Chains A and B, each alone.
Chain A
Amino acid sequence: MPSVLLEAREISKSFPGTRALDRVHFEVLPGEVHAVVGENGAGKTTLMMILAGVLQPDEGAVLWDGAVVPLTDSRTAQGLGIGTVFQELSLVPGLSIGENIFLTRSPARTALGLVEWRRVYAEAQVALAQLGIGVDPMLPVSSLGMGARQMVEIAKALSMRCRVLLLDEPTSALSPVEVDRLFTAIRALRDQGLGIVFITHRIAEVFQIADRVTILRDGHTVAMHEISGVTPDQVVHAMVGRTLGKATRPPPSSSTPMLEVAGLSRPPVLEDVSFSLNAGEILGVAGLPDSGREEIGRALFGIEPALRGTVRVNGHSLQIRSPQDALRAGIGYLPPDRRTLGLFLRMPVKDNIVVTALNQITRSGIVDDGHATIIAARYVDRLQIHSPSVSQVVGRLSGGNQQKVALSKWLLRRPRVLIVDGPTIGVDVGARVAIHQLLYQLAADGMSILLLSTDLPELLGLSNYIIVMNGGRVAGTLSGDEASERRVMTLAAGQPAQLDPADV
């Protein structure tokens, strides 16, 4: 029986106003991948921060190799062999990969005190190889995509010779291909004897990669199971305490084209993109990073306007050169990074919701805050936004609730076409389903939705049609019925020249 590497015993932690963890148990064995799941606010990140030494528990103890260790700070934890990769990457884009890997430690120095760069890069190379990555460690981090950066973070942790690796939502910003690569690396590390803690929202991934799963809810350890002995539905049920619905495709709608795009181009990221979206339809857009998927959204909303091509909304031909043009045309946009682009974190919920429709609550130039409150309350209720009040500052809400607030402002504005980019990234399971249901409802009520996403189940579940972007072009169009993960991935990942729709 392999001995437990890292254990959290009866850990409790409180913050002003909330008890984040209540006598939580958790353990990691060497050579296993142990997933931790739970809704937002369940305590996953708090637990991880305690294991990483960043926070200290109010009660309970952390044990390493069976002995109680006071993890006073993250250095102590690192020294023991606990490596951590947080959700917010801590890389410095301007420095090279090698420099980043050694960022928090003084690298090898010669007698004169100069840095031995050759050794730095050699060790970086070793760490990267452990993960199966063959990238040149002298390249600047800024040249890497999100997936590769994630790997560099892990390499950083590995280079400190850790025996336990804590990963907080490592796949949230990765494409399916990058996720595969990550999992391969994780399996390799597991086989080398590391204990890997994997915190995630995505149940599907848990069943792909984990050996055991611990479910947290409201700060308690609800259950721990061997993966072989439990089903996804059971896990979800344990997480939320209830059964959730599934995402469904809106019914086929009227055939009035609401958004018609022809020859949209912005070389080199977009080339000759054409598609048409009817009222009440959800058009999914799939694609790897830099395939043009995100760029379609930015072009149609006037953030990075297209240089050529035509756009017609409700039959009217338009020039979209700025977000204001897009708004006037009846287009809305839910950006992928809600914290920096979609929300006013220091302002209350109600101000965030009414921002796109200030004219509605203004009379003779004066803002009617009472009216704003009522409107906001309506959406809070409708979307089940967990917030103490509509005057709560948005920055303090969980990711899922923040996204609901961000979505509310578009519901209020009621655009004809709503572009949503990555609507459920970093959102817990409960909120995710709610958002899916909301998108369905909006479409059923007649809104046209352009759903840009890397989440294949989400795309397949919700879209009437899916277009797949590859290299800035539309590689293929699939109807909801004929689409499958394999088909989408083939179109997305294949070399454009090799694609033959007949083969797909």
Chain B
Amino acid sequence: MIRLVRRRRPQALLVAIAVLTLSISIAWFVGPKTITRAAAPAETYVYVSCVTQVPFWIDQKQALADVGKALGVKTSFTGPTTADPQAEAAALDQIIASRPAGIMVFPCDEKALTPGINRAVDAGIPVITMIGDVPASKRSTHMGINNFRAGVEGAKLLAAAIGGKGKVVVGTFQAAGVLDRMRGYKDYLAKNHPEIKVVSVVDDHADPSYAPQAYAAAIAANPDLAGIGGTDGDSGVGAARAVIEAGKKGKIKIVAMDRNEDMLNYIADGTITAAVAQKSYLETWLAVQLLYALRHNSGPGKMLPDWRAAKVNPLPEDVDTGIMPITRANVSQFRHKR
């Protein structure tokens, strides 16, 4: 039996250390800003979410940082990078164990997170659900509009853009939130615009390298397509590229969502008519303020000396923050300062 002998082990170790150091130093030089601090025993407010790496959460993270500084508390943003409800539930449990002062949660899946939310509240940690509700749980407030509503708003803009009639395609990908937006689109159009037909739903995999060709195929399949409704920023960019490459800029109207930086360019030059941006910064800022008030019995928390004993909810049940339509006219205001 032949064993091919491994030689020069120490050198191999050096290579490993070099690779590791290289990657860590790149991360350090390029972007120290986003290394979030772990939840410390000090007063901390945690935002638990899923699909955490998409640009959509930039505003929430900024709000967390700003309000944390303003109030003198620690904040953090966490959750799985994929649309994995189980992973989010696990993250939530771990956060509960670190005893934060308050938790905000964007529920990837209502049912998966109900037990966790209840556990948090029972442990004395108030919970606010963000842009998606878990009504069956003991959460204090639902903040923001839900994804279905966002889809409805998008549909309104799209219907207006194409003049109330014609064929449209809705683009989305396989994740609970955006699928809700897609349903919002379809529901609104079906109920309110019988002359608009949603000919198909396109799955763009949330992948900027694939999205353009998905929309291009939809455009090819429907030569008289009037509009495309996107359910996030990447679908906006993908649809824009497809429309431009098919030479149909202006002929096919596009409505998208969120406020991705690269999508804004297409709004500025008119390829995309409008985008539905949620007031993410406001929602997060408000949520932390409310949780802080509960914790310190200050501001709105002053209503009752002990709201737990009173078995009432001192916070609003539902805060509808609405949307901001981004159009050519106001797009310059939406650029992020970096």
Query: Closest chain B residue to A340 by CB distance?
Result: B2
**Residue-wise interface mask of A (295-325) relative to B, using a CB-CB cutoff of 8 A (1 in contact, 0 not):** 0001000011100000000000000010000
Q: Which of B1-20 contact A (CB under 8 A)?
A: 2-5, 7
CA–CA, A304 and B7, complex, Å:
11
Tell me, rounded to whole Å, the shortest Cβ–Cβ distance linking A441 to chain B: 28
* Contact between B2 and A305, CB atoms less than 8 A apart: no
Q: How far is the CB of A130 from chain B (nearest CB, A)?
A: 29
A305, B4: Cα distance in complex, Å: 10
Within 8 A of A (CB), among B34-82: none
**A335 x B7 contact (CB < 8 A):** no
> How far, in Å, is B1 (CB) from chain A's closest CB?
8
CB proximity of B5 to chain A, nearest CB, Å: 6
Output the nearest chain A residue to B1 by Cβ-Cβ distance: A337
Could you tell me the distance between the alpha carbons of A288 and B3 in the complex, rounded to whole angstroms?
A: 20
Query: Closest CB-CB distance, B2 to chain A, in whole Å?
Result: 6
Shortest CB–CB separation between residue A292 and chain B, in angstroms? 15
Q: Which residue of A lies closest to B4 (CB)?
A: A303
Q: How large is the interface on A (under 10, 10 to 19, 20 to 34, 35 or more residues)?
A: under 10
- Asked if residues A335 and B5 are in contact (CB atoms below 8 Å), the reply is no
Residues of chain A within 8 A (CB-CB) of B4 are 303
CA–CA, A341 to B3, complex, Å? Answer: 11
Partner of A321, one of B2, B3, B7: B7
Contacts of A298 in B (CB 8 A): 2
Residues of B near A335 (CB, < 8 A) are: 2
DSSP majority for the A interface?
loop
List the A side residues contacting B7 at CB < 8 Å.
321
Quick check: B2 and A341 within 8 Å, CB to CB? Answer: yes
Contact partners of B2 in chain A: CB under 8 A? 298, 303-304, 335, 337, 341
Q: In the complex, how many angstroms separate the beta carbon of B8 from the nearest chain A beta carbon?
A: 10
A337's nearest neighbour on chain B, judged by CB, is: B2
CB distance from A138 to the nearest CB of B (A): 23
The interface bits of chain A over 318-358 (1 if a CB of B lies within 8 angstroms of the residue's CB, else 0) are: 00010000000000000101000100000000000000000
- Which of B3, B5, B7 has the most A CB atoms < 10 Å from its CB? B5
Q: Which residues of B contact A303 (CB under 8 A)?
A: 2, 4-5
Query: Min CB distance, A126 to chain B, in Å?
Result: 31
B38 to A: closest C-beta gap in Å: 43
CB-CB nearest in chain B for A298: B2
Complex CA gap A304/B299 in Å reads 78
How many whole Å from A88's CB to the nearest CB in chain B? 15
Bound-complex Cα distance A335 to B2 (A): 10
The distance in angstroms between the C-alpha atoms of A337 and B2, with both chains bound, is: 10
Note all chain B residues with C-beta closer than 8 A to A337: 2
Shortest distance between the CB of B7 and any CB in chain A (Å): 7
Alpha-carbon separation in the docked complex, A292 to B5 (Å): 17
Distance, CA A337 to CA B5, complexed state (A): 18
- B-contact 0/1 string along A278-303, CB 8 Å cutoff: 00000000000000000000100001
CB-CB nearest in chain A for B7? A321
Taking the closest CB of chain B, its distance from the CB of A293, in whole angstroms, is: 14
Q: How far is A305 from B2 in the complex, measured between Cα atoms in Å?
A: 12
B24 to chain A, nearest CB (A): 34
A317 and B7 alpha carbons, distance in the complex (Å): 22
Residues of A within 8 A of B5 (CB): 303-305
A321 to B5, CA, bound (A): 10
Complex: how many Å from CA A337 to CA B3?
13
Chain B minimum-CB-distance residue to A335: B2
How far is B3's CA from A303's CA once the two chains are assembled, in angstroms? 8
Q: How far is the CA of A321 from the CA of B4 in the complex (A)?
A: 11
CA distance A335 to B7 in the complex (A): 22
**In chain B, what residue has the closest Cβ to A303?**
B2
State in angstroms the CA–CA spacing of A335 and B4 once bound together: 13
Nearest chain B residue, comparing its CB with the CB of A321: B7
Residue of B nearest to A323 (CB): B4
Report the separation of the CA atoms of residues A191 and B5 in the bound assembly, to the nearest whole angstrom.
48
Contact partners of A341 in chain B: CB under 8 A: 2
The residues in B between 192 and 230 inclusive whose CB is less than 8 angstroms from any CB of A are none
Residues facing A in B117-148 (CB within 8 A) are none
Q: How far in angstroms is the closest Cβ of chain A from B154?
A: 55
Closest to B5 in A: A304
Determine how close the nearest CB of chain A comes to the CB of B11; give it in whole angstroms.
14
With both chains docked as a complex, state the minimum distance between the C-beta of B282 and any C-beta of chain A, in angstroms. 63
Select from chain B the residue with minimum beta-carbon distance to A341: B2
User: Once bound together, how far apart are the Cα atoms of A298 and B5, in whole Å?
Assistant: 11
- Proximity string of chain A (237-274) to chain B, C-beta cutoff 8 Å, 1 when within and 0 when not: 00000000000000000000000000000000000000
B-chain residues with CB within 8 Å of residue A304 when the two chains form the complex: 2-3, 5
Q: How far is the CA of A298 from the CA of B4 in the complex (A)?
A: 10
- Residues facing B in A96-133 (CB within 8 A) are none
Chain B residues lying within 8 Å of A305, measured Cβ to Cβ, are: 5
The residues of A that contact B3 with a CB separation of less than 8 Å are: 304
Distance in angstroms from B284 CB to nearest chain A CB is: 56
Docked pose: A303 CA to B5 CA in angstroms:
7
Minimum distance in angstroms from A339 CB to a CB of chain B: 13
Docked pose: A341 CA to B7 CA in angstroms? 20
**Which B residue's beta carbon lies closest to that of A304?**
B5
Chain A, range 345-386, C-beta contacts under 8 Å to B: none
Nearest-Cβ distance from residue A332 to partner chain B, whole angstroms: 16
- How far is A337 from B1 in the complex, measured between Cα atoms in Å? 9
Q: CA separation between A298 and B2, bound complex, in Å? A: 8
- Distance in angstroms from B132 CB to nearest chain A CB is 50
B2, B3, B7 interface centre (most CB from chain A within 10 Å): B2
CB distance from A425 to the nearest CB of B (A): 15
Q: Complex formed: what's the CA distance from A305 to B3 in Å?
A: 11
User: Residues 78-92 of chain A: 1 if any B CB is under 8 Å from the residue's CB, otherwise 0?
Assistant: 000000000000000
State the CA gap A304–B3 with chains docked (Å): 8
Cα A337 to Cα B4 with chains together (Å): 14
- In angstroms, Cα B7 to Cα A303, docked, is 11
Chain B residues within an 8 Å CB radius of A321: 7
- CA distance in complex: A204, B76 (Å): 82
A46 to B7, CA, bound (A): 45
Distance in Å: Cβ of A140 to nearest Cβ of chain B: 15
Shortest Cβ gap from B275 to chain A (Å): 53
Q: Smallest CB-CB separation from A302: which chain B residue?
A: B5
Nearest residue, chain A, Cβ from B3: A304
Known: A304-B3, A341-B2. 8 other contacts (CB 8 A): A298-B2, A303-B4, A303-B5, A304-B2, A304-B5, A305-B5, A335-B2, A337-B2
Please provide the 5 A-B residue pairs with the shortest distance between their CB atoms, ordered closest to farther: A304-B5, A303-B2, A341-B2, A303-B4, A298-B2
Q: List 12 A-B contacts (CB under 8 A).
A: A298-B2, A303-B2, A303-B4, A303-B5, A304-B2, A304-B3, A304-B5, A305-B5, A321-B7, A335-B2, A337-B2, A341-B2
